[in-house]
Amino acid sequence: MALSGLDIYKLLPKTNCRECGFPACLAFAMQLARKAERIDKCPYLSKESKEVFEAQALPPIKLITLGEGEDKLEIGNESVIFRHEEKFHHPCGIGIIIQDSLSKEEIEQEIAKINSLRFERVGQKIQVNLIAVEAKAGAGRFIEAVKTVSQNTKIALALMNEDPEALKAALSILKGRRPLIYSANENNLKMMAGLAKDYGAVLAVSVKDLDSVVSLTTELNNLGCLDLVLEIKGKSITDRIWDLTQIRRLALKKNNRALGYPVLTVIEESDSFEEAQEAATYISKYAGNAKYS
């Protein structure tokens, strides 16, 4: 939530020294509230006040980048509740899950299909934005699958595994590609935070309710892990939509930093029509990324 002129005034030194070019701190505060001036014109701010202004300058939903180069996926950095209020700066990314139980040839065929699925509609380039490798067949198969996928596509990648050794090996293969690690929870928080930091990866945080999101993201931030994507799991579609809406409202309207990250939904519906329907629902409200199995 933006600071009012009076809120800003309380953070200024109140000495009316005029060095900012205004006759009094209050006049400068009013211009700052209108966003007509820059805070760095006052050279006498306390450290605490500077921190408050710096936090205010951050977008309420953090910009998160996955992957690199032309095919990188940027999500977040949003400033309005309803996406139609502004241009879609960072539209929802679409991901496909590939299981490591497939053979090398099957994975290569899948990737070839995904790579070629690119088209233009009314000037907008549409493609798959994320490929997630899901662990199903043990560490060895997972690592081999990550290698095969990474050698055959430039699309951003996600690693769906919670085995630390398998993740370490996979992350070494993906050095410099800024993958998403899926996912941290109450039980593996420190280990996942360490891996994300060591390998420059983004970390997905999966929880069952809003209160847990706040405590987990706060703890991860304290561990120095700042690039996060949030997931609410194990709920009905209606309840998930409710939670996604609350996350967005609290981040944008109440400036709740612990919730100021893009959200991810994973869809594991067996019927392909219902799968697409569910994905469309989350894209409307308010997924930053939706992954299909």
Compute the least distance from the CB of residue 32 to ligand SF4, in Å. Answer: 9
The span of 18-26, 123-131, 132-140, 198-206 binding ligand SF4 (CB under 6 A) equals 18-26
Half-sphere exposure of 1 (CA within 13 A, CB side): 8
Q: Binding to ligand SF4 by residue 40, rule CB under 6 A?
A: no
Do residues 132 and 158 lie in contact, with contact meaning Cβ atoms separated by under 8 Å?
Answer: yes
The span of 12-20, 142-150, 202-210, 284-292 binding ligand SF4 (CB under 6 A) equals 12-20
Find, among 19, 16, 17, 34, the residue nearest to 8 by Cα. 34
Neighbours of 224 (CB within 10 A): 10
Q: Binding to ligand SF4 by residue 42, rule CB under 6 A?
A: yes
Q: Would you give the end-to-end CA distance of the chain in angstroms?
A: 37
Of the candidates 3, 16, 208, 269, which one interacts with ligand SF4 according to CB under 6 A? 16
Q: Binding to ligand SF4 by residue 18, rule CB under 6 A?
A: yes
Q: Which residues share a beta bridge with 160? A: 134, 182
Q: Binding to ligand SF4 by residue 280, rule CB under 6 A?
A: no
Q: Binding to ligand SF4 by residue 15, rule CB under 6 A?
A: yes
Question: Given the complex with ligand SF4, which of 37 and 231 has the nearer CB atom?
Answer: 37
Do residues 269 and 280 lie in contact, with contact meaning Cβ atoms separated by under 8 Å?
Answer: no
Question: Given the complex with ligand SF4, which of 20 and 220 has the nearer CB atom?
Answer: 20
Of the candidates 17, 58, 80, 280, which one interacts with ligand SF4 according to CB under 6 A? 17
The span of 22-30, 55-63, 151-159, 242-250 binding ligand SF4 (CB under 6 A) equals 22-30
Q: Binding to ligand SF4 by residue 61, rule CB under 6 A?
A: no
* CB environment 177-207: b (16+ within 10 A), e (fewer): bbbbbbbbbeeebeebbebbbebebbbbbbb
